[in-house]
């Protein structure tokens, strides 16, 4: 009976548990460069019943294009390659994240045949892309994250393709773009109400009397 009484008190004291509020939004834009602005709600403390303990920002990004390239040199190019290089940044109030993206592909092609867009000097690399992610968090300066209102997440992306393995070439990109998502997490802990504190106190007194 004493053990049961103590368990009831503990249950009263811990009935309110910590939690996390999550918001996710998608973004996409053509390149390059470009940007997007996403609007997120500030932290809702439920009338003072929750206290913010940490803010976390994470994001995913993919950058790519349909790529064809042609060797315009009079020499063959056995190591004919195209290379993607770019990056994406996200800023959200005091948080900031960066991720780099890079991808490459290689194919051997012949010397220029003088005919554009086809032949043994031409190669279709298909969709060439890379994906990556970024992250940042903070446990300080949290007052600026409290609502009501909103905070913008500013997404910026830039990138480009290059050709190597030849001295002269023609590169064609189709649908060069970036896309991804941004997630904001507000970690919080509950603030006990006067009623719950009083109830827990009564339970502790009752448990103490049972022990005697």
Output DSSP code: residue 143: G
Check if the beta carbon of residue 97 is closer than 8 Å to that of residue 183. Answer: no
Determine the average pLDDT of the residues in 65-70.
98
pTM for this entry: 0.82
Model pLDDT, residue 146: 98
Residue 46's Cβ-count burial label (10 Å; 0-12, 13-18, 19+) is exposed
Residues 6+ apart with CB under 8 A from 125: 67, 68, 69, 82, 105, 107
Domain ranges of the chain: 1-16+193-212, 17-191
pLDDT tens per residue across span 176-200: 999 999 999 999 999 976 555 444 4
| pLDDT at 204 exceeding the cut of 60 | no
CB 81 within 8 A of CB 162: no
% of residues, the chain, pLDDT over 90 = 82
Residue 173: in which H helix or E strand, if any? strand 169-190
Given a cut of 90, whether residue 57 has pLDDT beyond it is yes
- Residue 177's nearest CA partner among 25, 33, 89, 64 is 64
Q: Residue 78 pairs with which residues in a beta bridge?
A: none
Report residue 16's pLDDT band, with 50, 70 and 90 as the boundaries: low
| pLDDT one-digit tens code per residue, 141-183 | 999 999 999 999 999 999 999 999 999 999 999 999 999 999 9
Helices and strands (DSSP H and E) totals, the chain? 2, 8
């Amino acid at each position: 009976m004493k053990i049961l009484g103590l368990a009831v008190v503990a249950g009263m004291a811990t009935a309110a548990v910590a939690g996390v509020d999550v918001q996710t939004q998608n973004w996409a834009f053509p390149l390059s460069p470009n940007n997007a602005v996403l609007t997120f709600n500030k932290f809702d403390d439920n009338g003072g019943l929750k206290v913010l303990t940490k803010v976390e920002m994470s994001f995913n990004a993919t950058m790519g294009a349909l790529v064809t390239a042609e060797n315009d040199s009079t020499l063959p190019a056995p190591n004919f390659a195209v290379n993607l290089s770019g990056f994406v940044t996200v800023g959200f109030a005091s948080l900031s994240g960066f991720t780099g993206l890079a991808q490459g592909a290689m194919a051997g092609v012949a010397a220029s045949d003088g005919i554009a867009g086809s032949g043994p000097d031409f190669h279709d690399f298909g969709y060439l892309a890379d994906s990556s992610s970024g992250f940042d968090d903070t446990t300080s300066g949290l007052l600026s994250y409290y609502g009501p209102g909103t905070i913008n997440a500013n997404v910026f992306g830039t990138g480009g393709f290059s050709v190597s393995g030849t001295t002269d070439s023609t590169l064609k990109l189709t649908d060069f773009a970036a896309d991804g998502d941004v997630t904001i997490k507000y970690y919080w802990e509950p603030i006990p109400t006067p009623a719950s504190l009083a109830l827990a106190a009564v339970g502790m007194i009752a448990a103490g009397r049972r022990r005697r």
